[in-house]
Chains A and B, each alone.
Chain A
Amino acid sequence: MSDLVDSFYALMPEFDETSPPALSPDDRARLLESFYPDYRPEGKATIRVGPSAGTVVPEEIAALLESRSRIEGPRPLPDHPDRDVDILIVGGGGAGITAALHAAEQGAGVLLATKLRVGDSNTVMAEGGIQSALGEGDSPVDHFRDTFRGGHGANDPALLSVLVQEGPRMVEWLISRGILFDRDPQGNLSLRKGGGTSRPRLISAKDYTGLELIRVLKEDVVNAPVEILEFSPAVELLQGPGGACAGAVLWDLDSRKYLYVKARTVILATGGTGRLHLGGFATSNHFGATGDGLCMAYRMGAKLVHIDSFQYHPTGVIFPSEMAGMLITEAVRGAGARMYNRFGRRFVNELETRDVVASAIIRECSEGRGVPTPSGASGVYLDLASIDREAGEGTVAKRFPNIVKLMTRHQVDPTKFPILVYPTLHYQNGGLQTDQNGHTSIPNLLVAGEASGGLHGTNRLMGNSLLELFVFGRRAGLEAVKESRERAPFSWKEVSMAHVDHFEQSLAREFEGADRPMAPTLFPDYRRKDS
């Protein structure tokens, strides 16, 4: 261990295993209201322009939605588009790849444009697993109930019914592609327990679930008849006849030129917003998670749902500080890991839903029971050693090799020393309003994955977002094929960015000409400001 790590752990208290007090429904509600960032008044703004006007959201989300375009007006289009395709998919994570594979299988011409490389996404980082109700005594109905309860009853029941019933079929698809999930000695898929669920329901590939998924699906999409443009994020959508979506403008990060794509149908699979660091929170998200799809579609008038609801995952690493934000999967708590405050006391049942556990950690830290770090942050201990004590020596190393590898690189052996954690901005619960086939409120603009909203209500259960990618990625891909075939032909002359002009006029009126931030930002800028 380095001196810094050594001296930090020298101050560790004795851990008291006594169970924390059970929470009544009222306790939970009070805890959330007092400490969960979604319910706190600080750092919030009321949206003034567009379909979500009147909604109170984090300031960073308001800045994203009420922003000016990267493309300055007037916005004439070139004489011809650079590409003319059936389907443009924006985003190369799990949802985008799944949509592309299913659309290409139907013979549609698919262009997949993505900000970094194909597969660079939050999907590849998923550790814990996919929820699928496969156990004896479990059923899609129980999966429905647990998810609806976990989402505080704000979930769209129609979306949820599709998720739980089609989920197992998509797991079958993944297995047919050669994805290796953990098995029990009888050859069944092993089922693990996550927070907020009544049954063990998580299938996983140790704690490398997302990596295993992306390794395989990336190879498939590269080998499929899909044109792929990497390092080419979309920065604006294009509008066609009747206000329908008609393509997008991509920005080539290397040549620094715009690329104009005419498309009969567009699928946004642009993921979430973690890298906007809402409320200054660290994030577990990949480098490109800046909410591009939300911002572009909002300018076109797309309706959003639950855009005031975000998931702060309870257990992000907070020390050593170079790891800040990195996720420690909830599966460790499912396996028996315990949390302690600076006095060595447990303070919440570790298997409450994510928002409740996160609130409890924030409460401990804001009321002086957090463990201070050398950089002035504070957190609580997440102790994995109890897993080995209960399930046998070596269990942590066997089930969570990624966590052991990552922490050990930073001089902390998590089988012996507790990991210091604090909530990390993890997931955008809401997003573009959608239906069972991925439609947004804009014709010919579909959405899949984290960019969409409604399925998870206002709190997502672990493992449901991976399942969502495949269930709704496939549906969006197939629907895009249908829509692109049914759409009446239109010419490039009918295509414009008029919606952007109109949106910016509304901004100018509402904000009386005050300068608005530019978005999408594409990346966070962590460079030293005076360098």
Chain B
Amino acid sequence: MDNSQKEQETMVHVSINGRDFEVPAGSTMVQAMWYTGHEVIHGIGCLGGVCGACATVYRVKGDFRLRNALACQTLVQDGMSFSMLDSYPIQRAHYDVAHLSDPKEELFTFYPESATCRNCNACTEVCPQGIDVRDSVWRANFGDFKAVAELTMSCVMCGLCVSRCIAEMAPHEIALYARRAYGAKELPFPTNLRSRLNEIEKGIFSREIDRLLGLSPDELKKECEVKS
């Protein structure tokens, strides 16, 4: 995803961190920053929309609304004004998922603010992944961790929900706690994995593996049908 090839030669006006620039239409916000000579280090990671490093706040021409997006995934528009919000301060619970004994109650030990949601829905409106964040907070409060896990699968931990929460909680961290507790404490251990682990434990495969390791390189290639 470099900016070496551009389909469109049209230039648009944008404002980056309060300074005006002209950049090629069809650029993402990050590409617009490169184009204008910014060395982006904070606020960049995967460039593929999953690492959550490039949370950005922006406005478009003629609209008072404050919007949010991932800068590597969002194309600039004429008259757009944006600033990166690459790290939002949060308080993260210190816990070991293996040591949870009553995860649904312990949620309120680690994140007591979770219960203070005032239903304003700003978190949901801001989420660049389209997650129903407000619902996931309430599901967590009611102990429906399975629903939290399903609702928040695509969360990239960008923290934009924190930036808007009037109860000042970190909904993405609460969701992560609920997801982990669900996986480690509620879901039964997978049967197919259990049986395979038992077979490995009994050494069922080790003789055959040892035999393969004892073959000459050519014999091994023949055994494994190496084609080319």
Q: Which residues of A contact B (CB under 8 A)?
A: 4, 25, 28-29, 32, 116-117, 119-120, 124-125, 132-136, 139-141, 144-145, 148-149, 152-153, 157-158, 161, 164-165, 168-169, 171-172, 175-181, 183, 186-189, 191, 205-206, 208, 210-212, 215-216, 219-220, 222-223, 231, 253, 277, 282, 284, 286-287, 320-327, 373-377, 401-402, 405-406, 409-410, 523-524, 526-528, 531
- How close is A305's CB to chain B, nearest CB, in angstroms? 15
For B192, what are the chain A residues with a Cβ–Cβ distance below 8 Å?
134-136, 188-189, 191
CA distance A168 to B191 in the complex (A): 12
**Beta-carbon contact of B35 and A180 below 8 Å:** no
**Beta-carbon contact of A152 and B226 below 8 Å:** yes
**Beta-carbon contact of A180 and B179 below 8 Å:** yes
For B53, what are the chain A residues with a Cβ–Cβ distance below 8 Å?
116-117, 120
The chain A residue sitting closest to B228, CB to CB, is A29
**Beta-carbon contact of B200 and A4 below 8 Å:** no
Q: A4-B8, A321-B6 are in contact. List 13 more A-B contacts (CB 8 A).
A: A4-B7, A136-B192, A153-B220, A153-B226, A175-B190, A178-B183, A180-B187, A188-B192, A223-B94, A287-B46, A320-B7, A321-B26, A531-B36
**Beta-carbon contact of B6 and A527 below 8 Å:** no
- From A4, A141, A375, contact of B5 by CB (8 A): A375
The chain B residue sitting closest to A33, CB to CB, is B228
Interface size range on B against A: 35 or more
- How close is B128's CB to chain A, nearest CB, in angstroms? 9
For B188, what are the chain A residues with a Cβ–Cβ distance below 8 Å?
187
**Beta-carbon contact of B73 and A531 below 8 Å:** no
B167 within 8 Å of A (CB atoms)? no
**Beta-carbon contact of B37 and A528 below 8 Å:** yes
In the complex with contacts A178-B182, A180-B183, A144-B46 CB distance below 8 A: no
**Beta-carbon contact of A153 and B189 below 8 Å:** no
For B153, what are the chain A residues with a Cβ–Cβ distance below 8 Å?
205-206, 208, 212, 401
Q: Which 5 pairs, one residue from A and one from B, show the smallest C-beta to C-beta distance?
A: A178-B180, A153-B226, A178-B184, A531-B37, A178-B183
In the complex with contacts A172-B193, A401-B153, A327-B5 CB distance below 8 A: no
B63 within 8 Å of A (CB atoms)? no
**Beta-carbon contact of B31 and A322 below 8 Å:** yes
In the complex with contacts A120-B45, A165-B200, A206-B153, A374-B7 CB distance below 8 A: yes
Q: Provide 14 A-B residue pairs closer than 8 Å at the C-beta atoms, listed in order of the A residue.
A: A32-B228, A140-B205, A140-B209, A149-B227, A165-B205, A165-B206, A171-B193, A178-B181, A321-B5, A322-B75, A401-B153, A409-B74, A527-B37, A531-B35
The chain B residue sitting closest to A377, CB to CB, is B5
**Beta-carbon contact of A141 and B212 below 8 Å:** yes
B160 within 8 Å of A (CB atoms)? no
For A531, what are the chain B residues with a Cβ–Cβ distance below 8 Å?
35-37
- How close is A462's CB to chain B, nearest CB, in angstroms? 17
CA distance A200 to B199 in the complex (A): 19
For A153, what are the chain B residues with a Cβ–Cβ distance below 8 Å?
217, 220-221, 224, 226
B102 within 8 Å of A (CB atoms)? no
B151 within 8 Å of A (CB atoms)? no
CA distance A215 to B2 in the complex (A): 26
In the complex with contacts A25-B228, A322-B27, A144-B183 CB distance below 8 A: no
- How close is A160's CB to chain B, nearest CB, in angstroms? 9
Interface centre among B1, B3, B6, B95 (most CB of A within 10 A): B1
Q: Mark out the residues of chain B between 37 and 79 whose CB falls within 8 Å of any chain A CB in the assembled complex.
A: 37-39, 41-42, 44-51, 53, 73-75
B130 within 8 Å of A (CB atoms)? yes
In the complex with contacts A32-B228, A171-B193, A177-B51 CB distance below 8 A: no
In the complex with contacts A216-B176, A376-B5, A231-B42 CB distance below 8 A: yes
The chain A residue sitting closest to B194, CB to CB, is A172
Interface of B is mostly: loop
Q: Mark out the residues of chain B between 171 and 227 whose CB falls within 8 Å of any chain A CB in the assembled complex.
A: 176, 179-185, 187-193, 196-197, 200, 205-206, 208-209, 212-213, 217, 220-221, 223-227
The chain A residue sitting closest to B30, CB to CB, is A526
CA distance A322 to B24 in the complex (A): 11
- How close is B96's CB to chain A, nearest CB, in angstroms? 7
For B96, what are the chain A residues with a Cβ–Cβ distance below 8 Å?
223
CA distance A191 to B153 in the complex (A): 19
For B48, what are the chain A residues with a Cβ–Cβ distance below 8 Å?
125, 284, 286, 326-327, 406
**Beta-carbon contact of A401 and B224 below 8 Å:** no
For A191, what are the chain B residues with a Cβ–Cβ distance below 8 Å?
192
**Beta-carbon contact of A527 and B39 below 8 Å:** yes
CA distance A11 to B185 in the complex (A): 53
- From B92, B129, B184, contact of A175 by CB (8 A): B184
**Beta-carbon contact of A287 and B47 below 8 Å:** yes
**Beta-carbon contact of A177 and B205 below 8 Å:** no
CA distance A158 to B213 in the complex (A): 7
**Beta-carbon contact of A141 and B26 below 8 Å:** no
**Beta-carbon contact of A177 and B97 below 8 Å:** yes
- How close is A340's CB to chain B, nearest CB, in angstroms? 22
The chain A residue sitting closest to B50, CB to CB, is A211
**Beta-carbon contact of A180 and B47 below 8 Å:** no
- From B73, B92, B183, contact of A219 by CB (8 A): B92
- From A140, A168, A324, A401, contact of B1 by CB (8 A): A324
**Beta-carbon contact of A148 and B220 below 8 Å:** yes
Interface centre among B38, B92, B226 (most CB of A within 10 A): B226
For B14, what are the chain A residues with a Cβ–Cβ distance below 8 Å?
none
Interface centre among A222, A282, A287, A402 (most CB of B within 10 A): A287
**Beta-carbon contact of A172 and B197 below 8 Å:** yes
For B50, what are the chain A residues with a Cβ–Cβ distance below 8 Å?
124-125, 208, 210-211, 402
B149 within 8 Å of A (CB atoms)? yes
B111 within 8 Å of A (CB atoms)? no
- How close is A405's CB to chain B, nearest CB, in angstroms? 7
CA distance A324 to B6 in the complex (A): 11
